[in-house]
Structure formats: C-alpha cells, structure tokens
Amino acid sequence: MKRTILLNPGPITLTERVRQALLREDLCHREPEFAELTLDIKKRLASVYPEATTDYEAIMLTGSGTCAVEAMLSTLIPQNGKALVVSNGVYGERIVSMVTTHGKAVEVVSSQWHEPMNLIEVEKHLEQDSGITHVIAVHHETTTGRLNDVAKLGQLCKSKNVALLLDSVSSFGAEKIEFADWNLEACAATANKCLHGVPGICFVLVKKSVFESRPSAAETLYLDLDRYHQEQLQGYSPFTQAVQIVYALQESLKEMEDLGGWMARHQQYSHLSQQIRQCLRELGISTLLDEPDYSCVLTSFNLPLGYSYEKIHDSLKKSGFIIYAGQGRLKKDIFRIANMGDIQLDDAKRLRNCLQSLFR
C-alpha cells in the first residue's frame, strides 16, 4: 500500500498496529463484549492525564470532533445560563455559532486571529456580569497553531468561580491540561488527532459531580451527554457506535501508553515541529506567529513570494506529503504543517529534502 504522510491537522497517518485493529471480528454494540470494550476505553481516556482519572468521566460518541464540542456545550450550559466565549480563530467562532444555534445567551471576547486571547476583556466581563455560568475557549487554536494561554484563563475562572469548558480537540494527548487549576468542568476531543486513532469517534471528559448536581441542559436528543453517561456506566450506548473505529481507538490508546503517555508524545511532537520550523526558517520562510506561541502540534507559515498554496501543496503531494491551507481570511496568506501521526525519522528526513528542493 502507498504510504501517504498526512501533515494536515487530522486525520493522521495511522500506525500499522492501529490499522490492523480495524480488522477484528464483527461485533454487535448490544453485546457484553462491546460493553467491556467501551468501559476499557473510558478508563484509558480518563487516565491519559492521571489528574483526571478519579474526578472525570469519559463519554464516548460516534462523530467527529465537532460532535463532541457540540454535545459538551449543549448538555452543560444551562438553558438559563450564559456563555462567555473567548475566540481567536475558526474554532472559537464555531463555538459561538453553536451556542447561538442552541438559543442560549452568549457573550464573545474576540481577538484578531493572529493575536492571543484578550484576557483583560475577559476579566472585565467576569467582573461586570455575574450571570456568566461558563467560559468557553479553544486550547490549541488550529487556525493558526497558537497554544492559547489557558493557564491564565483558568486562573481567572477559578478566582471568579465560573466553570471552564475547553475545545481540546487538537491538543488532548499532546499538551498539558490542568484540570483542577483551570476550573475545568469538561473538555472535548477526538480519536483522530493527537491520540492517533481513526476518524469517527470523539469524546468528552466531564467532571463527575456535574451529573449529580444538575439536570442535562441538552436541547438535542442525539447529543445529550447525560443519556450517554447513564448508559455508558454499564458500557452500553443509546445509539450504534462505530465499532471498528472503537477497536482502533483502544489500540491507539494502548500504543500511546506503551510509548510513554502524553508527555512522551509532547516531546516527540516538539522535536518534530522544531525541525520543520528550523528547516523552513533556513529557507527564508517565516512563521505567522512568534515561535514560542505555537503548540507542538502545528505551525502556520507565511506563503513566500512567488508561491501559491496550490503550488506548494501539489509539489509535496507528488512526494507523498499532504499539507493544509489557511482557513477563511488566512486562505491566501499561509500554509500549515501539522506533525501528528506515524511520522518516522525517515519521513522527516524526506520531508526536509522535499522542502529544500521546493524552496531553494
């Protein structure tokens, strides 16, 4: 089989170990074997960050990352509550659209896409408006590659006693998450980014005490986390789960544990992303953000003079590498290189050679 290296921010290049897991025996999602599989995955997901293991429950859904984010917002923001969304990219804006679609009250503190979150404004909002029940932010804003300063935001939430909900879709498994210090009520993520699984399964980690303290606020039947939670305590789910993809998620979690957990993955990604940035810097290509602002997962580069995105994309694709365009208003300005998935030393070396012959 042809080996394609996906340098887009998910789905990722699978390891053979995870790919093989897709071929296991057929299984009905109402059988006890599936319940056992679900319970095992719930345990492993809640243990990716040891701090979360006892106080948070992992809830697994069939769908992409957006499904997990929407289920989290819909179920947890009370109908008479109010959301404060901190936005500096496409995914922050998507959260605003979701809360608005759900008909819940929302305030927005937005910054330019290349700017950090505006925490001074957040503080003002929290001081002026005691009706805000939830602050919502994007941990790694994949639009630009910025790792948002959620530690500072979380401190603010904690000091004001407001719950934080996090879109950690492109950071879960690779960046630090501090559950207690950030006053984190829940975070949403997916199988097919930093966890190296197959697209089709997503999940939310929810503080257990939430389910005991208030009813579900979901205005949707299918994405009501409360219902999933109740049934998944015994390992079952209200609707058909993507069985083969669940097998693959279990294998990818085992593989990650074997390789040393999220911190080892963080180190591996950091090393790789620094190599890619250095290579392009030496070829005269600048980054959109300052280098320390990036996550270890993805970097955005300014398109150099005389090169369209298509030209760079098509040339790399011929060599088996798939990069990613800018979104929205950055479409004409940047290209992005993510470094998740099964990228071997040889692949990295070959990528460097391709970039050198393209830009030299």
Ligand X SMILES: *Cc1c(COP(=O)(O)O)cnc(C)c1O
Interface mask toward ligand X for 26-65; x: CB under 6 A: --------------------------------------xx
Taking the CB of residue 98, how many other CB atoms lie within 10 A of it?
21
Q: How far is the CB of 189 from ligand X (least distance, A)?
A: 9
Interface mask toward ligand X for 127-166; x: CB under 6 A: -----------x---x------------------------
241 is a site residue for ligand X (CB under 6 A): no
Q: How far is the CB of 88 from ligand X (least distance, A)?
A: 11
In the range 58-97, which residues lie near ligand X by CB under 6 A?
A: 64-66, 69, 91
Q: Residue-wise over 173-202: b if at least 16 C-beta within 10 A, else e?
A: bbbebebeebbbbbbbbbbbbbbbbbbbbb
Place of tokens 């994405």: 223
169 is a site residue for ligand X (CB under 6 A): yes
The identity of residue 143, as a single letter, is T
Between 87 and 190, CB nearer to ligand X? 190
Between 167 and 226, CB nearer to ligand X? 167
Cα(307)–Cα(312) distance, rounded to whole angstroms? 7
Number of residues that bind ligand X (CB under 6 A): 13
Place of tokens 């998944």: 232
The identity of residue 134, as a single letter, is H
Place of tokens 């009250």: 105
197 is a site residue for ligand X (CB under 6 A): no
Q: How far is the CB of 175 from ligand X (least distance, A)?
A: 11
Bridge partners (DSSP) of residue 167 are 138, 188
Dihedral over Cα of 323, 189, 182, 54: its sign: negative
Burial tier of 249 (Cβ tally within 10 Å: 0-12, 13-18, 19+): buried
Instruction: Give residue number: closest CB to ligand X.
Output: 65
Interface mask toward ligand X for 260-299; x: CB under 6 A: ----------------------------------------
Cα(121)–Cα(191) distance, rounded to whole angstroms? 34
Burial tier of 54 (Cβ tally within 10 Å: 0-12, 13-18, 19+): exposed
Taking the CB of residue 156, how many other CB atoms lie within 10 A of it?
20
Between 126 and 195, CB nearer to ligand X? 195
Q: How far is the CB of 190 from ligand X (least distance, A)?
A: 5
Between 87 and 237, CB nearer to ligand X? 87
**Euclidean distance between the first and final Cα of the chain, in Å?**
31
10 is a site residue for ligand X (CB under 6 A): yes
Q: How far is the CB of 234 from ligand X (least distance, A)?
A: 28
Between 166 and 218, CB nearer to ligand X? 166
Enter the tokens of residue 273: 């992303």
Q: How far is the CB of 181 from ligand X (least distance, A)?
A: 21
Taking the CB of residue 325, how many other CB atoms lie within 10 A of it?
16
Pick the binder of ligand X from 107, 167, 342, 347 (CB under 6 A).
Answer: 167
Between 64 and 211, CB nearer to ligand X? 64
Binding residues (CB under 6 A) for ligand X: these are 9-10, 64-66, 69, 91, 138, 142, 167, 169-170, 190
